[in-house]
Amino acid sequence: MEFLQKIADKIQSMNKTRDPSEFNDEIAMRTEWESFNKGSSNFNTHRLTDETGYGLRYKPTKSLYFLCGMFMALGGGTAIATVASAVNQGKDLNRDVIYPALFGLVFFAIGYGLFIGLRRPVFFDQTERCMVIKDARTYFSDIHALQLVVQRGGKHRNYQLNLVLRDTARVYVMNYADSRTARADAARVAQVIGLASSRIWDAMPGYDVQIPHGSF
């Protein structure tokens, strides 16, 4: 029974979320704690890399490239093969040909859209002391803390890293498929920005589980 109780306590700990009051910070109490509504995935779409003498940059993972390529290849290939087959056989390009081709193009468009949308530049520039997302800049001096929350409402359970600004506004940074990578990246981002570890506001399940030294 004691063994089963330990298992139950472990499960409860891993699903426990955090009350913002535990951070003992007025801004933590005034900011939002619901995740931004972003697409979810069962794999990490980006990885955080070091740019020598520059800072940190999120780059698409091989899994993301593979997924986008698969959609584009299958969709585009289907459309081309359907039309080419009809032309070679001397068939009219009627709806029996056009509809399957359009269906393939839809998959091609999905893959292309994912590739373009998820390749948005996201980097932390140590020279300019700011985070850049597309054309928007958030200066390190305006960042009060980093926020880690569960991404809710998606098909897959994801974890989200956000910036919390001094005026309590938030800036979305990235979604993760696993909490361990989210925590490790948050530690790296905090170091570049110059935030103390206490300014990483971890409200993800398992926040109270001890992480072995050196995991980051």
Residue range 163-175, pLDDT digits in tens: 999 999 999 999 9
CATH number assigned to the domain comprising residue 150 = 2.30.29
pTM reported for the whole predicted model? 0.71
Residue 133 and residue 55 in one domain = yes
Residue spans of the chain under pLDDT 50: 4-16, 210-216
pLDDT confidence of residue 15: 45
Residue 79 and residue 109 in one domain = yes
Alpha-carbon distance 17 to 9, whole Å? Answer: 14
Contact in structure between 82 and 97 (CB atoms under 8 Å): yes
Residue 106 and residue 149 in one domain = no
Q: Which of 73, 92, 117 is the last residue of a domain?
A: 117
pLDDT confidence of residue 32: 95
Residue 31: inside a domain:
yes
Residue 44 and residue 147 in one domain = yes
Residue 35 and residue 94 in one domain = no
Alpha-carbon distance 134 to 105, whole Å? Answer: 27
What is the rounded (10 degree) CA torsion for 167, 46, 152, 182? -70
Pairing of strands 122-125, 130-133: antiparallel
Residue 153 sits in which domain range?
A: 19-59+129-202
Alpha-carbon distance 96 to 102, whole Å? Answer: 11
Residue 2: inside a domain:
no
pLDDT tens per residue, range 112-144? 777 776 666 789 999 999 999 888 999 999 999
Residue 122: inside a domain:
no
Q: 64 Cβ partners below 8 Å, 6+ apart?
A: 43, 45, 46, 114, 115, 118
How many structural domains compose the chain?
Answer: 2
